[in-house]
Structure 1
């Protein structure tokens, strides 16, 4: 039988492509790629959990820091209670010079007028050379004592003012070693010795003499009464300046009450409580008169 000369058709026929199919497939591929990239970015920005590895930009893998490696913010200090204030200073330790040079350094700073009314009394301030004390510190302490409140100027009968050397003055307040204080007081007719040693302070005409021993150490019964040294200094200034202003010694009015400033508190309290001021609550505070110089 003679073969047919008609060409044989293939068993598989090609399916004709619809218009736009190739473009839709390309778009789907692009979308799939973009979706995968977005997922990758989302994973990259998530904080890795402890122990998870991280993929860095160059494709290498690094281990994230463990919690112990991550610095933690320093804890704020817990509030602490205010420290307990130190107890008041009752006396100064260490030896006190028994004598100095006998010459004096003067406070060259003029002071304001203290008080609102009354006659004006001007005074100078002097510290013995060799005493180890600063004249300005002494001047400041005297100023606190005489300015008050509670000082002699509160009564409206006298005003006080510190003046410079060379200016006209009514009296001088000296801080002197015990030997010099003993001599200055003795020259004015006052014996300040106790047990043969110059012990108290004094006032003689035109001179208020503060004994350095008392200025630095107070006295045992006032230390036992817990009178601060600063208050003793207020007392001794107001007491001796009180003499200069014409006031005499006074006694304790009653046990348990404040001692009058003109009581000899350096020697005894007689049942009273220590007190450095001539005025209390705006009124002159006094005790029964004791007519001793």
Structure 2
């Protein structure tokens, strides 16, 4: 840090006044005694030079020692030079997920583990429907918590069915309920849906989800892998999950299938988006801009 410096004051110059001629005196002449004015001036100059030198020496010592005064008169060492800042580690943005890789069970025992705890009331007005959430026991350990979270998140969004003067609430097993939302392996989904006369297979593999009276069945195959139009369109897996929950719950609430209203427009949530978007854009919500969004009836 640069310091302001001042030039040392110069000493007074010696008296240089010239001697004047004096008239001669009669009688014996005493020898003139010289006054020590010049010596005193020289001594003053020397003393000033010493003081200036000491001041300069003190400044040099302080600069070398790096001392500085802090409030209260306490001398503390100057801070060491700052080290170069560490390079910040690059922020890693999570990559979008369109489907999950890896193996997973294609079938299960057909038994269930239920989410515990009472959820809050979703929605502010209208009739109340209570529901349970369950996952097949062979997948529940890894999936039940996330499935429950996604159901609560989806149905609690104002763009979901609560946007239409309806309230929903998740309840634990043992409580009174109106319907159950199941996450089932593909083969268990096929068996359950077949009891209602529905065939969930595509090319011999259980593909779609379904709704039976009081039972919303989400196919674990689709829960992990989404569908071709969503994957090719780079629509994230979480969006498909919200769509399939709202679609099947919509059936439980009395809604029927609808068609794409026109190329480039949002797909109605009751469109069978699992089979293809038919020129529409992926959309998981029954309410857009605060209004019910629907397509032509099938």
Q: 1:147 aligns with which of 147, 156, 166?
A: 156
Q: 1:189 aligns with which of 170, 173, 197?
A: 197
Aligned residues of 2:108 and 2:188 also touching (Cα < 8 A): yes
1:59-98 mapped onto 2 (5 Å cutoff) = 72-75=81-84, 85-98=93-106
Q: Determine the structure 2 residue equivalent to 1:232.
A: 240
1-side partners of 2:275 and 2:228: how far apart? 10
1:195-274 mapped onto 2 (5 Å cutoff) = 195-274=203-282
Aligned residues of 1:127 and 1:133 also touching (Cα < 8 A): no
Aligned residues of 1:121 and 1:159 also touching (Cα < 8 A): yes
Q: Determine the structure 2 residue equivalent to 1:3.
A: none
Root mean square deviation, CA, Å: 3.1
Q: Secondary structure at the match of 1:130?
A: helix
Unaligned runs of 5+ in 2: 1-29, 65-79
Moved over 3 A (4+): 14-18, 24-34, 71-80, 82-87
1:46-195 mapped onto 2 (5 Å cutoff) = 46-47=59-60, 72-75=81-84, 85-131=93-139, 133-156=142-165, 158-195=166-203
188-197 or 205-214, which deviates more: 188-197
TM-score by length of 2: 0.74
1-side partners of 2:262 and 2:42: how far apart? 112
TM-score by length of 1: 0.75
Q: Determine the structure 2 residue equivalent to 1:40.
A: 53
Offset at residue 46 of structure 1 (A): 4.1
2-side partners of 1:226 and 1:25: how far apart? 99
Q: 2:294 aligns with which of 250, 265, 286?
A: 286
Unaligned runs of 5+ in 1: 1-13, 49-53, 55-70
